[in-house]
Amino acid sequence: MPESPLVIVERLVDQRVVLRLKDDREIEGKLLGADEHLNVVLDDATEKAADVSRHLGRVVVRGSNIVALFAPTGARPRGR
């Protein structure tokens, strides 16, 4: 049986991830957690839009605004 998206995202906690948002912005930061709606909390986040980049710090991103989540280092194997 396939894993739910939340289970996959939870394996990425404490890793750096990149979120692509509906408005073509990208937010990169350390994933602190997610809930059942895939709202996520990032720490040490940086927003990148067009040619502009700015530091945001700790942010909560509403799951309905997220188009894709990238984990450059990949998810940890199950059970770790």
CB 63 within 8 A of CB 37: yes
Q: Residue 42: how many CB atoms within 10 A of its CB? A: 23
> HSE (CB half, 13 Å, CA atoms) of 36?
0
Enumerate domains of the chain plus CATH numbers. Answer: 5-69 (2.30.30.100)
Q: What is the pLDDT of residue 15?
A: 95
80 residues of the chain, pLDDT tens digit each: 788 888 989 999 999 999 999 999 999 999 999 999 999 999 999 999 888 999 999 999 999 999 999 998 766 665 54
Q: What is the pLDDT of residue 2?
A: 80
Residue 74: alpha-carbon gap to chain centroid: 12
DSSP state of 80: -
Q: What is the pLDDT of residue 67?
A: 97
